[in-house]
A = this chain, B = another copy of it.
Amino acid sequence: METVNTTKSQMPNKFVYYFAAGDAEGNASMKGILGGKGANLAEMTAIGLPVPPGFTISTDICTAFYDNGGKLPEWVRPKVMEALAKVETRIGKKFGDVKNPLLVSVRSGARASMPGMMDTILNLGLNDQTVEGLSATSNNPRFAWDSYRRFIQMYSDVVMGMNSSLLEVTLEDMKAEKGIHFDTDLTADDLKKLVGKFKALVQQMTGQSFPADPVDQLWGAITAVFKSWNTPRAITYRDLHSIPASWGTAVNVQSMVFGNLGEDSATGVAFTRDPSTGERKFYGEYLINAQGEDVVAGIRTPQPIHLLQETMPGPYKDLEAAYQKLELYFKDMQDIEFTIEKNKLWMLQTRTGKRTAKAALQIACDMIDEKMLTEDEAILRVDPASLDQLLHPTLDPKAVKTVLAKGLPASPGGVCGHIVFTPEEAVELREKGQKVILVRVETSPEDIAGMIAAQGILTSRGGMTSHAAVVARGMGKCCVAGCSEIDVNHEAETLKAKGYILKKGDLITLDGSTGEVFLGEVKTIEPKLDGNFDRLMKMADKIRRMKVRANADTPADAKIAREFGAEGIGLCRTEHMFFGADRIDSVREMIVSDTKPERERALAKLLPMQRDDFYQLFKIMDGFPVTIRLLDPPLHEFVPHAEDEIVELAKRIKYDVNRLKNKIASLHEFNPMLGHRGCRLAITFPEIYEMQSRAIAEAASQLVSEGFKLIPEIMIPLVSTAKELEMLRAQTIAIVEKVQKEKGIKFDYQVGTMIELPRAAVTAHEIAHHADFFSFGTNDLTQTTLGLSRDDAGRFLGTYVSQGIFAKDPFVSIDQVGVGTLVKTGVDLGRQTKGNLKVGVCGEHGGDPDSIEFFENVNLDYVSCSPFRVPIARLAAARATLKRNKK
């Protein structure tokens, strides 16, 4: 292998890139060899900003380092020293010079930002001699010795691998001894002593003396950066994100500047626009005679940036010019860090600034008006997920909070209310005007009334697509699910967490966007939509190719969906209509029937109610398509299981109690998810779907007779074979035609199917013969493809995500490699049979921006999601179209 090694560690033509204002050897396009940080530093200097001079050692050297057995090849050193000399010349200081020493920082910087890598070493170049030079030139011995002890702490930890807590303890001991509280109270002499102790401890613990030669220090730091490329954490992260090990990291060496050299020095951070409102004004804060850390430490209160204009008019003017230049250049709001050293401005970093959703919209709209961005560019600047903030109340970020527990952020929003443990209590207290939070181990369809009454829902079990999560999202109601840190006892009506025992009536607050649960009341902020929102939505609608529909089961849902711009209903779950108090007993009578005539009698009672349900929905959707999924869940979901409830039900429906118990017991399933549900119910009990088809057809006839237009889409769930759909399609068509004949009214309608089982996806070419449309049910498709019950996965999903086995919760963002392959197969096979087959998705993924991008790329016609996610989907679909067109 000798030859290969030699070949690989051959010296590249160029591998050290110098930069200083107006004189950069690299640029922003060279991320591959300079890394992200190096390329950006080069770019900032290229556009003439005052960046402390330095150089970047290219990623090629990382490869050469490993090819050379984990050592820097000898030919690296001369080129590095050459670049260092250029920095010395530019800045007028010399590395290791005892009079006027040049100090540098050393930082890693890979092509993509990555955890597990070495971060930063500051003040490199200090030793017992140079510290005196620094002391003299700065005329500030305390500053010099403080810089030195900080350097030893960082270097011994990062480069020499010493346990950093040992030096921390030494520092604390000294403070205790002197009876002081802050590091800043230590004098120059104290710090000098501390440095002595530090060096002794390093020798003792590592068996090596702390390197005194600045060049040895530099060499050690560069080596440490390259070594950090292969830490276990970095390797795991790379595996997870498919980053090749061959990329390597670059090393940035940059001269130090100091904001703590006196009253003519300062340090600060700023945003080019207000990050919380988006207002177009320079926004930030600074501290005179301070280091970056001091701003964060909060010991002194920073000043608002506009005051700097008076204090240091010169540097401020430069700063203003710099930020304007940066914003124009990057065409986005920037988050910048700067230091003023003796009245001279230095730019340390610039990056895209984080912002609230409100600000993101404001900035995007303003930048269009300022001609800084096109509409397409602006659309790509707003994170769709952030819109959630605009649609739900949020917790006041300034409020003081006591975290009680953390669960899954199942449905966004911030709400406060009194704890209740049963749906009945929820309804009762709600009627008395109280705000309540329904707390359950998990919810079931019987809890719906209580969920409607509650402000928010908290469950201790279940994942992101558990019943509680799905229903709450559908209602746009705050929900924290699967919060295993709380212990819910329904009998005792208590909620235990962190030693607290909360009882019915106690106040808690939920943050559905983070999954946090807080003790007591936390102030919330009501959402407000402004003109920017509408403007952005209109722009998105012009761009996107896919339609966006909503999953809506009730007239109330449908109205919200329309308000949020849904272009139809992609999924109406008819079973949700079965739980109304006026009808659930008829449903149960149907279920416990032993014969077809009995079943038909019970179904006849349900027919007028279902017909009215559909009539309302069609009317609200006013000509937009409405996809109605026929009954899907297993029948045991509709019957009570508690002894007393069974007894009561038997009385109400006049049924023998023991027979009812036996009947209910006989409905038990080991794996209901894979059981007697969906179209399987219709194969064994055809009369159920017959009733539903009739209700749809009668409602449609009525509306047509009233002059409305509509095209009902009847959807058959859980199809695994073409034959099932063929039979049920024929049955459905027969019923609809019969009703049309009876009423003397014609209307168009479609019969389609869900593709939610792997078998349906791989036989989609057969199934398509009998389908007018496909709708991917990616929730169930995820469960079956991964063999993963969404209700049970909570036990290990956390471990799976944290260990990087799943990049994300596959119920939140579609597993593109696995489930996605089956979706693509299903689409392609289906259209192989019917070229223009309409295909959509109605699983929870329909509202997830990453999933939406995937759906765009596999050519779906529409996505359907919870009403409150419709705006997110509209924006995400537009972005997906733009990204695809760019390719």
- Chain A residues with CB under 8 Å of chain B are 239, 669-676, 680, 683-684, 718, 720-721, 723-724, 727, 756-759, 762-763, 766, 780, 783-789, 791-793, 795-796, 799-800, 803-806, 815, 817-819, 821-822
Contact = CB atoms under 8 A, between A and B. Distances in A.
B669 A792 contact: yes
A525 B298 CA distance: 92
Contact of A783 (B672, B674, B727, B822): B674
A751 to B, nearest CB: 18
Contacts of A817: 763, 766
Contacts of A787: 673-674, 718, 720, 756-759, 780, 784
Nearest to A821: B762
Contacts of A756: 787
A670 B758 contact: no
A676 B798 CA distance: 12
A758 B785 CA distance: 5
B805 A723 contact: yes
14 contacts: A669-B792, A674-B792, A675-B789, A675-B792, A680-B796, A723-B804, A727-B803, A727-B805, A758-B758, A758-B786, A758-B818, A759-B786, A759-B819, A784-B785
A739 B786 CA distance: 34
A674 B676 contact: no
Contacts of A718: 787
3 closest residue pairs by CB, A with B: A674-B789, A759-B818, A671-B789
A683 B784 contact: no
Nearest to A758: B758
A301 to B, nearest CB: 47
Contact of A800 (B675, B683, B780): B683
Contact of A758 (B669, B721, B784): B784
B676 A673 contact: no
Contacts of A762: 785, 818, 821-822
Contacts of A803: 683, 723, 727
Nearest to A680: B796
Contacts of A757: 785-787
Choose among A785, A787, A788, A793 the residue with the greatest number of B CB atoms under 10 Å from its CB: A787
Contacts of A788: 674, 720
Contact of A723 (B239, B683, B724, B791): B239
B796 A684 contact: yes
A806 B671 contact: no
A788 B803 CA distance: 30
A804 B799 CA distance: 44
B815 A759 contact: yes
A670 B791 contact: yes
A676 B794 CA distance: 9
> How many copies of the chain does the oligomer comprise?
2
A796 B720 contact: no
A670 B786 contact: no
B759 A796 contact: no
Given A759-B819, A787-B784, A799 B683 contact: yes
A128 to B, nearest CB: 47
B800 A670 contact: no
A803 B239 CA distance: 49
Given A671-B791, A758-B784, A806 B721 contact: yes
Given A683-B805, A784-B785, A799-B683, A792 B720 contact: no
Nearest to A825: B762
Nearest to A677: B787
A667 to B, nearest CB: 9
Contacts of A758: 758, 784-787, 818, 822
Contacts of A721: 805-806, 818
A785 B793 CA distance: 19
A421 to B, nearest CB: 18
Nearest to A780: B787
A484 to B, nearest CB: 10
A355 to B, nearest CB: 35
Nearest to A795: B676
A432 B796 CA distance: 48
B804 A684 contact: no
Contacts of A822: 758, 762
Given A674-B788, A675-B793, A759-B787, 20 more contacts: A239-B723, A670-B672, A671-B672, A671-B783, A671-B789, A674-B784, A674-B787, A674-B792, A675-B792, A675-B795, A683-B803, A721-B805, A721-B806, A723-B804, A727-B803, A758-B787, A759-B785, A763-B818, A784-B784, A784-B785
A818 B671 contact: no
A676 B669 CA distance: 18
Nearest to A678: B787
Contacts of A818: 720-721, 758-759, 762-763
A601 B806 CA distance: 31
A683 B792 contact: no
Choose among A721, A759, A803 the residue with the greatest number of B CB atoms under 10 Å from its CB: A759
A789 B720 contact: no
Contacts of A723: 239, 803-805
Contacts of A815: 759
A728 to B, nearest CB: 11
A684 B797 CA distance: 10
Nearest to A674: B789
Contacts of A799: 683-684
A786 B680 CA distance: 12
A724 B783 contact: no
A491 to B, nearest CB: 13
A696 to B, nearest CB: 24
A829 to B, nearest CB: 10
A724 B239 CA distance: 13
Contacts of A780: 787
Nearest to A723: B805
Contacts of A792: 669-672, 674-676
A429 to B, nearest CB: 29
Nearest to A804: B723
A711 B669 CA distance: 41
Contacts of A680: 796, 800
Contacts of A805: 683, 721, 723-724, 727
Nearest to A487: B662
Given A683-B803, A796-B676, A818-B763, A670 B720 contact: no
A628 to B, nearest CB: 21
A673 B803 CA distance: 23
A672 B785 CA distance: 15
Given A799-B683, A805-B721, A789 B670 contact: yes
Contacts of A720: 786-788, 818
Contacts of A672: 670-671, 792
Contacts of A821: 762-763
A822 B239 CA distance: 26
Nearest to A668: B792
A848 to B, nearest CB: 19
A549 B150 CA distance: 67
A758 B755 CA distance: 15
Nearest to A782: B759
A725 B758 CA distance: 22
